[in-house]
Amino acid sequence: MIKKIFNAAMANSLLNELRKKGVEIASGLSSTDIEVIETRLGTTLPPELRVLLKCGVPVDHNGNSEAFPQWHEDPIAELRDTKEFINRAFTFDIANDNYWHPLLGEKPQSIEAAQKQALSAISKWPPLVRIYGHRFMPTEPHGPDNPVFSFVQAGDSVYYGANLQDYLLREFKISDKKIPYDKIKPVPYWSDAFGLS
């Protein structure tokens, strides 16, 4: 069986389903808009997210505009805020929950040194892109079907979708299918660091 590649027709169908669930959709991003985001990100967006954002940008859900990235307003601030959120998640867990993972190297004795070392390590990992609330999609592996993570802290993370479409259908109660955990691709660094591999 040949799997369909997520294309503009599928993206528009998904956006229409989101509209029915109270999601306001703004016009899609231009190629220049996407280029600005990817330049600042230092890598390409996941292909499904790229297609979706070119077709339309979810901006509000029943009056809650803060949950969605505001790509039209200030994409640079969005990427900065995402990075700061991730950094706070790790530094909080290191300080309060004795979190550490071997990917971060040998743990220093002081909390401050451990936090600094952890932030240095994760700054070299492929970036995550925020999708909605505290749901994030990895930029690697490059290619289709990257999963969506839900995480508030490094030690409090779960998969929330096998790919972007699977996640959005579930998040907005368009589908009640279970997450196909057996089909989730492992993600370099993040799957291990979140204890999901």
The candidate with the shortest Cα–Cα distance to 57, out of 33, 25, 82, 32, is: 25
- pLDDT at residue 18 in the model: 97
What are the structural domain ranges in the chain? 8-193
Low-confidence residues in the chain, pLDDT < 50: 1-2
User: pLDDT tens across 130-146, in order?
Assistant: 999 999 999 999 889 99
Query: What residues contact residue 175 under an 8 Å CB cut-off, 6+ apart?
Result: 169
- pLDDT at residue 126 in the model: 96
Q: 8-193 maps to which CATH number? A: 3.40.1580.10
Q: What is the pTM of this model?
A: 0.93
